[in-house]
Amino acid sequence: PRQRIVRQVQDPCTFVDLSHAADPQTELQSWIASARERLFDFGTQLFESVLLKIHSDAFVWYLNQHHLITDAASTAVLYRRVSERYAQLASSKAAATDPSPQYRDYVRFERELRDSLRMTHARRYWEDTREAVELGSSVFGRIRSSKSCRTSRATVRLDEQRSAVLR
């Protein structure tokens, strides 16, 4: 894994006030449609975060991230953390927040795990297991005849007795 850290993010979160528009909802939809068409500048940052005000007490958070810098799991973590912080602030319980996990800590963990005795044992276990399931092993009563990855469908009739066992 690699990470490149920039010294300063250009605009971590910008603010756009649409509340004075004749129809803030229509203006919001137009703004979002336009934002979705903008291409990322790979020389600056690969995300856009904007807080849009559509009424004196109504805001929309727009977040667009390039797939090169995120995945579903990290996006879920981000939304969970933002939601937790928002709930704290909304309930006037603005306690200190835990610092976000750092990618460099994950890389360090992976390197330590890779070189650990635990990983050596796990690697040996899976290598031994793989060797035990070599040619001649039976799956659904069929003997494996080659090391090919090519598969064929195995049909097994589920009579009442087998169905009862599975339940």
Q: Would the pLDDT of 23 be above 70? A: yes
Q: Model confidence over 28-74: pLDDT tens digits? A: 999 999 998 889 888 788 899 999 999 999 999 999 999 988 899 88
pLDDT of 131: 72
Ranges assigned E (strand) in the chain: 14-17, 47-55, 58-65, 138-139, 142-143
pLDDT of 22: 96
Q: What is the pTM of this model?
A: 0.58
Q: What residue spans of 50-102 are helical by DSSP H?
A: 72-90
Q: Model confidence over 110-155: pLDDT tens digits? A: 899 998 999 999 999 988 887 766 655 666 666 666 666 566 677 7
Q: What residue spans of 5-159 are helical by DSSP H?
A: 24-37, 72-90, 103-114, 117-132
End-to-end CA distance of the chain: 44
Instruction: Tell me the residue type at 37.
Output: E
**Bridge partners of residue 55, in order along the sequence:** 58
CA distance 11 to 4: 18
CA distance 120 to 124: 6
pLDDT of 33: 93
